[in-house]
Amino acid sequence: MTASSSATRRATILDVARAASVSRQTVSNVVNAPERVAPATLARVQAEIRRLGFRPSRAAQTLKQERAGAWGLELDSSGFGRLGAILDTFLVELTAGASARGSHVVPFTASDPAAPLAAYDRLVASRVVDGFVLTDTRRGDPRPAWLEEHEIPYAAFGRVWDDPSITAWVDVDGAAGVEAAVHHLAAQGYERIGYLGWPEGSPVGDDRRSGWVRATTRLGVHNPHWQATSVQALEQASRAAARLLDDLGRGAALVCASDALALGAWRVLLERGLRPGADVGLVCFDDTDIAQALDLSSLHQPLDRVADRVLHVLGARSASRDPAGGLLLPPELVVRSSSKPAGDRTTPKEK
Amino acid sequence: MTASSSATRRATILDVARAASVSRQTVSNVVNAPERVAPATLARVQAEIRRLGFRPSRAAQTLKQERAGAWGLELDSSGFGRLGAILDTFLVELTAGASARGSHVVPFTASDPAAPLAAYDRLVASRVVDGFVLTDTRRGDPRPAWLEEHEIPYAAFGRVWDDPSITAWVDVDGAAGVEAAVHHLAAQGYERIGYLGWPEGSPVGDDRRSGWVRATTRLGVHNPHWQATSVQALEQASRAAARLLDDLGRGAALVCASDALALGAWRVLLERGLRPGADVGLVCFDDTDIAQALDLSSLHQPLDRVADRVLHVLGARSASRDPAGGLLLPPELVVRSSSKPAGDRTTPKEK
């Protein structure tokens, strides 16, 4: 069992399901429990199975007989040598949730960047795990298609960006989160609400930014100039925040795509003698140590619910059931002093 | 197999070794390979085995026959719902190292605080793991003695504070790290070097502080008033740093026991219009995201080497060999702008 290129890939259960206009579950029944399938459907699916040359993979068959009771989780696919605040918490929640279901999580690192699927292949072949939890999903990610092809159960924390027909994922609704932040800031009396985000092109960043556009447009306070972008580094974030705050002026507010960007904005406020909240509103994303340390309002990802849903999808997948489609969970806004204007705040009108 | 109280605990291999004045390895040889042991020693150890009623545990015997090829790692024993920067990186290093040795790490959470050993018991009994990696070792930690008693292989990242005869650990030498930081700051020309630490009573905190006392004393610049303590929260850390900086004055330097404490000091400098490095030197511990974001010099824990050593000890323990004693690894000082005085810095002499 090795990773196939898309040119030579075998027909998958999903291909058969699409061709026969039935669910994945129905194809699975045709293979494993044909007595449950209506004769006309059975005939149609069997015809597509023959036409497409589909055969259930050996690995998938073996797994049904002998379960490891464990799910693999690749660590550090981005190469930073650590998980970071979100995946750290997600791992703890996933571990606790798996334990409550009588299973385990087996973290692993994919040692060979040239063959990113080799480690997945090896772990299933040696029956260390029954399937996988994916994180760091991205455009051009080879993993979902490969796992579908080999009928290995999996569920992703993060949308499968390349293929809308794949629904084995749960994600946090970044756009909805930023929308909620903008509405919160508007309700607190901030009239000019800017956005400090990442450079265009990252699915997560573009998603978050779209929430700012949507909410400010709906409120009739959208100004396309009130936004800036920066990478995560403090110097760049500080410079971008300084320019943006010059445009917005006192009494304004900023939504930041991350805690690192918010740290840049916070530093600029301190250097200018301005008080976060009282003088300039600040809301950031991810509710990390930095947000908590600086008392910044932040969008908190519901990672307990994400982990629970990921394990639910895995359970359904490994029983050859299709869970409901991909699920977007809204983050929760944690309000701290950085978006609570003090009583003596200069109102935007006065400026 | 359940956790025994110390009142009813069975004799362990360590008890026999102590009573017979031989190594753990020798006792193991008497049980498993008596032909390797000199006749006089064999007789002495066998006498102690009988006298103490020692018998190798069933779990330990079973493990020798059927290995799971996995080590358990308890997550979040402190209850914060996340690992934090150090354990996050340690987990990634441990996972990569285990994989290179053909084994795996299985994280788990101990769900019942009233029975902290139940999860350990269950994982070994069900053969999910062969042994354990301990983190968050602390005074009064029941785990090392319990694992010794049941002859379950383990290795700790963190000293076994209660029992100096247990050597299955590796730790980072906090005192040596702070000493190195003080010497670095003195070499950079800072003459008054203060210490911002945690309240007394935590083994890790007291260890780090002792390095400041030792180094400043050796350099002849020790002043017992140039220290302050704070919990990790920013407000408290800022207040403690402000008082300490008032005492020390411009041109001084601070070593901080953590990044959160350093963040408090950094904030005070910004509010006073002082430049970290150029006006006041700052060095912190742990080299987290915060240290990197703020460009703070920091003591970096060599977690790759810690993980490697932990796996080495585990390998030795599960082969009934005694590895060499507990190992202290020095952290590496990463120098950034917060401890590089600018050319125009007011020298301490002028003040």
Q: What is the pLDDT of residues B49-89, one digit of tens each?
A: 888 888 765 445 444 446 889 999 999 755 567 788 899 99
**CA atoms of B287 and A138, how far apart (whole Å):** 28
Chain B residues within an 8 Å CB radius of A109? 92, 95-96, 99
* Token couple for B178: 């702070």
Contact A109 B91 (CB under 8 A): no
pLDDT at position A211: 98
Q: Is B81 an 8 Å CB contact of chain A?
A: yes
Q: Are strands A332-334 and A297-300 parallel, antiparallel or unpaired?
A: antiparallel
Preferred mutation among A71, A73, A83 to probe B, highest tally of B CBs within 10 A: A83
Preferred mutation among A78, A99, A295 to probe B, highest tally of B CBs within 10 A: A99
- Chain B closest-CA separation from residue A59 CA (Å): 21
Q: What average pLDDT does the segment B198-203 reach?
A: 93
- Chain A closest-CA separation from residue B253 CA (Å): 21
Residue partners of A172: CB distance under 8 A and separation at least 6: A301, A302, A306, A328, A329, A330, A331
Contact A83 B96 (CB under 8 A): no
Question: Residue B259: what are its φ and ψ, rounded to 5°?
Answer: -70, -35
pLDDT at position B78: 57
Beta strands in A143-245 (DSSP E): 154-157, 169-172, 193-197, 227-229
Report whether pLDDT(B206) > 90. Answer: yes
pLDDT at position B344: 44
Contact A105 B107 (CB under 8 A): yes
Q: Is B182 an 8 Å CB contact of chain A?
A: no
Chain A residues within an 8 Å CB radius of B99? 108-109, 111, 119
Q: How confident is the model at residue A280 (pLDDT cuts 50, 70, 90)?
A: very high
pLDDT at position A317: 83
Q: Residue B79's closest chain A neighbor by CA? A: A92
CB-closest option in A99, A267, A289 to B108 = A99
pLDDT at position A23: 80
**CA atoms of B43 and B241, how far apart (whole Å):** 63
Residue partners of B166: CB distance under 8 A and separation at least 6: B14, B144, B148, B160, B326
Q: Is B59 an 8 Å CB contact of chain A?
A: no
Contact A92 B70 (CB under 8 A): no
pLDDT at position B59: 45
A251's torsion region: left (phi>0), alpha (psi -120 to 50) or beta?
left
Contact B84 A88 (CB under 8 A): yes
Q: Which of A274, A222, A233, A280 is nearest to A253 (CA)?
A: A280
| Residue A229, helix vs strand vs coil | strand
* Token couple for A350: 């006065």
The region of weakest confidence among B9-23, B73-87, B197-211 is B73-87
pLDDT at position A5: 39
Q: Average per-residue pLDDT in chain B?
A: 87
* Token couple for B203: 């083994």
Buried b / exposed e over A266-296, threshold 16 CB at 10 Å, is bbbbbeeeeebbbbbbbbbbbbbbbbbbbbb
Q: Residue B275's closest chain A neighbor by CA? A: A271
Distances (CA, A) of B291 to A332, B5, B299: 27, 43, 10
- pLDDT tens digits, residue range A314-335? 998 888 777 677 999 999 999 9
DSSP string, A92-126: HHHHHHHHHTT-EEEEE----TTSTTHHHHHHHHT
pLDDT at position A342: 60
**CA atoms of B166 and B14, how far apart (whole Å):** 9
Q: Residue B234's closest chain A neighbor by CA? A: A293
Percent of chain A with pLDDT over 90: 55
Q: How confident is the model at residue A56 (pLDDT cuts 50, 70, 90)?
A: low
- pLDDT tens digits, residue range A123-151? 998 889 999 999 989 889 999 999 999 98
pLDDT at position A335: 97
| Residue A328, helix vs strand vs coil | strand
Q: Residue B86's closest chain A neighbor by CA? A: A82
Q: Residue A275's closest chain B neighbor by CA? A: B271
Whole-model pTM?
0.80
Alpha-carbon dihedral angle through residues A127, A130, A135, A141, given to the nearest 10 degrees: 80
Please check whether residue B146 is in contact with residue B74, taking contact to mean a CB–CB distance below 8 angstroms. Answer: no
Q: What average pLDDT does the segment B237-253 reach?
A: 92
Q: Is B291 an 8 Å CB contact of chain A?
A: no
| Residue A326, helix vs strand vs coil | coil
Q: Residue B290's closest chain A neighbor by CA? A: A290
| Residue A198, helix vs strand vs coil | coil
Report whether pLDDT(A61) > 70. Answer: no
pLDDT at position B66: 63
- pLDDT tens digits, residue range A194-209? 999 999 998 999 999 9
- Chain A closest-CA separation from residue B328 CA (Å): 22
Contact A75 B95 (CB under 8 A): yes
What is the count of residue pairs from A and B with beta carbons less than 8 Å apart? 105
- Chain B closest-CA separation from residue A86 CA (Å): 9
Q: Is A5 an 8 Å CB contact of chain B?
A: no
The region of weakest confidence among A8-22, A152-166, A234-248 is A8-22
- pLDDT tens digits, residue range A63-85? 444 688 999 999 975 556 778 88
ipTM of the complex: 0.79
pLDDT at position A58: 46
Q: Is B89 an 8 Å CB contact of chain A?
A: yes
Contacts with A, B 138-167, CB within 8 Å: none
Contact A92 B75 (CB under 8 A): yes
Q: Which long-range contacts (CB under 8 A, 24 or more apart) does B197-201 make?
A: B197/B227, B197/B228, B197/B229, B197/B256, B197/B257, B197/B261, B198/B229, B198/B230, B198/B231, B198/B232, B198/B257, B198/B258, B198/B261, B199/B229, B199/B230, B199/B231, B200/B229
The region of weakest confidence among A316-325, B33-42, B166-175 is A316-325
